[in-house]
Chain A
Amino acid sequence: MSPHKIRLVRLLLILGVVLVWEFYARVFATSSLSAAPSQVLAELWPKVLGEPRVLNAIGVTLIELVVAFVMSVVFGMLIGVLVGLSDVGRRSFYPIVLLLYGIPQAILLPLFVLMFGLGPAGKIAFGFSHGIFPVIVNTIAGMRNVNPLLMHGAAAMGATRFEQLRYVVFPHMVTAVFTGLRLAMTMTLLGVLLAELFVSQGGIGFFTLLYAETFNPSALIALILTLALMAVALNELVRLVEARFSRWKE
């Protein structure tokens, strides 16, 4: 099938699901518990996105997310490179990282709130704790398996240790690191939103709970939709940057 046709089929699938949902919500569902897509859209603007306090909350969440993500990337790559540089470092440190990575962090959430408070700091810290691990793990993985021939070649041409890192190891790592970045973006968002839902004084979590507890499903879904679109947009952004660094692979 041509790509064009495949896109058409995909569109029809989505349209079908939306129609089924619309039909179900209008005919069978309780209006205080669920809403049809048309009702959600009507609610989205101007009620939800037109409300300055909601916009402000989205802005705060976005800032929390960006700060947590940037911190994850900077510290994750720094730790990953430092650990990945030596065999001893990798073998002694890596198991610890994997062990920590394996702990379901949700159980640590109350501790984070206790330590960092109810404000943005707690959300950033929790998002950071989610985001940094994929970056570390993928950075370390990326530093391995460099073609030894390329390293030999560089050494024979007189490249210093730093030049070998800069021109051979780092470009080699790009693919793995971006896998880590995309994962980190998803995980950071998860961490920030989890913390928001757990306690919030006016952030996105506050409004999510408010809409749910006041039986306002269309506003709730509208807000969720906004967050989902935000996540997709951010992921695409990381992918665009990745494409810029991967031209040689085409």
Chain B
Amino acid sequence: MTGGNVVGANAVSARATGVQAPAITISNVSMTFAGREPSQSVHALDDISLDIRKGEFVCLLGPSGCGKSTLLSIIGGMLQQTVGTVSVNGTPVSSPRPDDIAYVFQESTLFPWYTVLENFRLALKFRGIEEANWRDRAMQSLSAVGMEQFANHYPKQLSVGMKQRINLARGLCVGSEVLLLDEPFAALDEQTRMVLGEDLSILLARRGKTIVFVTHSLAEAVFLADRIVVMTARPGKIKASILVPEPHPRSPDFMLTDAFQNIRKELYGLLRDEIRQTVAAMRLARDAQA
């Protein structure tokens, strides 16, 4: 146990105050994907239980294929779990709920045939927001990420980083309380990624949204999260839950502190065995096929 963890265990998240019902409740969720034959079915998640407070920023961290994204899809109502329940704001989730939950995917899901502004208007239309407010809300969200001058560009005219920035802004613009981010920065280079991470921290500090963020990157997890949930290799279980007691917005200087480094080291220690196990399982599967 490192110092960071001990301090964190006693501290309530910097942004959540008071006792309230959790924004997201995950109870005993298991997920099995049926294959063509029983032997091909995949046990992806095993008995996951997790409460996420309103306003909390939780990172799901784990080796590839551990079911992080599957869990996120289940929370978002995109996938139906085999066992257990997931509730958002007290209501069980069984299908996408754009009123409560916004989803940002790994790659830009901006529609290439519409301009940036048209994309925002469509998101607001799907969400059922009155047309009179579309333009203002879209422009507000765009200027929040500094992209308002690209409102009339087509996605193809923008870089990957710009697209993902806009994608993120679109997720915020619909005003859902819960934001699910599935490796939103995975396709970006390290530097763009850091800048976007900082922006995200600043944006979120202002809005108090509840966030679940899936990532592979240890540094990203420590920099952004109030709490990091480490998952095991498949079938995914919760291995550990680590608090990061640093208030938002966080400055890049936070990355240079001992507290940051200690948590990062601890995460690495937790993950190393799981990654080994994943690689070993992959080799085994490959040899079995050969």
Chain B CB within 10 A, most for which of A154, A172, A247: A154
Given A155-B78, A155-B96, A163-B126: A248 in contact with B103 (beta carbons within 8 A): no
Per a CB cutoff under 8 Å, which of B98, B127, B156 touches A249?
B156
Question: Which residues of B (205-254) have their CB < 8 Å from a CB of A?
Answer: none
Which residue of the partner chain A has the closest CB to B76?
Answer: A156
Per a CB cutoff under 8 Å, which of A152, A171, A172, A249 touches B105?
A152
Indicate whether A95 reaches chain B with its CB closer than 8 angstroms: no
Given A158-B126, A158-B128, A248-B114: A153 in contact with B98 (beta carbons within 8 A): no
Query: What are 29 A-B residue pairs whose CB atoms fall within 8 Å in the complex?
Result: A149-B105, A150-B109, A152-B103, A152-B109, A153-B105, A153-B109, A154-B126, A156-B76, A156-B78, A156-B103, A157-B98, A157-B103, A157-B122, A157-B126, A158-B97, A158-B98, A158-B99, A158-B128, A163-B125, A163-B126, A171-B111, A171-B113, A172-B113, A247-B154, A248-B112, A248-B115, A249-B112, A249-B156, A250-B156
Q: How far is the CB of B75 from chain A (nearest CB, A)?
A: 11
Which residue of the partner chain A has the closest CB to B155?
Answer: A248
On chain A, the residues within 8 Å of B105 by CB distance are 149, 152-153
A250 to B154, CA, bound (A): 9
Which residue of the partner chain B has the closest CB to A247?
Answer: B154
Number of interface residues of B (CB under 8 A): 26
**When each residue 158-187 of chain B gets 1 if its CB lies under 8 Å from chain A and 0 otherwise, what string results?**
000000000000000010000000000000
Question: Which residues of A (122-172) have their CB < 8 Å from a CB of B?
Answer: 149-150, 152-159, 163, 167-168, 171-172
Indicate whether B148 reaches chain A with its CB closer than 8 angstroms: no
Indicate whether B123 reaches chain A with its CB closer than 8 angstroms: yes
A163 to B98, CA, bound (A): 14
- Chain A, interface SS category: helix
A235 to B5, CA, bound (A): 70
**When each residue 122-140 of chain B gets 1 if its CB lies under 8 Å from chain A and 0 otherwise, what string results?**
1101111000000000000
A152-B78 in contact (CB<8A) = yes
- Chain B, interface SS category: loop
B123-A157 in contact (CB<8A) = yes
**When each residue 97-138 of chain A gets 1 if its CB lies under 8 Å from chain B and 0 otherwise, what string results?**
000000000000000000000000000000000000000000
20 more contacts with CB within 8 A, not counting A152-B78, A167-B111, are: A149-B105, A150-B109, A152-B109, A153-B105, A154-B109, A156-B101, A157-B103, A157-B126, A158-B97, A158-B128, A159-B126, A163-B125, A167-B122, A168-B111, A171-B114, A172-B113, A248-B112, A248-B154, A249-B156, A250-B154
On chain B, the residues within 8 Å of A248 by CB distance are 112-115, 154, 156
On chain A, the residues within 8 Å of B127 by CB distance are 157-158
Q: How far is the CB of B102 from chain A (nearest CB, A)?
A: 8
A239 to B126, CA, bound (A): 32
On chain B, the residues within 8 Å of A250 by CB distance are 154, 156
Chain B CB within 10 A, most for which of A157, A163, A171, A172: A157
On chain B, the residues within 8 Å of A171 by CB distance are 111, 113-114
**When each residue 207-250 of chain A gets 1 if its CB lies under 8 Å from chain B and 0 otherwise, what string results?**
00000000000000000000000000000000000000001111
A148 to B231, CA, bound (A): 27
A190 to B130, CA, bound (A): 51
Chain B CB within 10 A, most for which of A156, A167, A168, A247: A156
On chain B, the residues within 8 Å of A172 by CB distance are 113
Q: How far is the CB of B98 from chain A (nearest CB, A)?
A: 3
A154 to B154, CA, bound (A): 18
A158 to B127, CA, bound (A): 6
On chain B, the residues within 8 Å of A153 by CB distance are 103, 105, 109
Task: Return the 7 tightest CB-CB contacts between A and B, nearest first.
Answer: A153-B109, A158-B98, A156-B103, A171-B113, A157-B126, A159-B126, A158-B126
A158 to B109, CA, bound (A): 14
On chain A, the residues within 8 Å of B114 by CB distance are 167, 171, 248
A19 to B211, CA, bound (A): 75
B76-A157 in contact (CB<8A) = no
Q: How far is the CB of A147 from chain B (nearest CB, A)?
A: 9
Indicate whether B107 reaches chain A with its CB closer than 8 angstroms: yes
A124 to B88, CA, bound (A): 59
On chain A, the residues within 8 Å of B122 by CB distance are 157, 167
On chain B, the residues within 8 Å of A167 by CB distance are 111, 114, 122
Which residue of the partner chain A has the closest CB to B122?
Answer: A167
A150-B174 in contact (CB<8A) = no
**When each residue 13-27 of chain A gets 1 if its CB lies under 8 Å from chain B and 0 otherwise, what string results?**
000000000000000
On chain A, the residues within 8 Å of B126 by CB distance are 154, 157-159, 163
Q: How far is the CB of A75 from chain B (nearest CB, A)?
A: 25
A167 to B119, CA, bound (A): 10
A134 to B85, CA, bound (A): 49
On chain B, the residues within 8 Å of A157 by CB distance are 96, 98, 102-103, 122-123, 126-127, 174
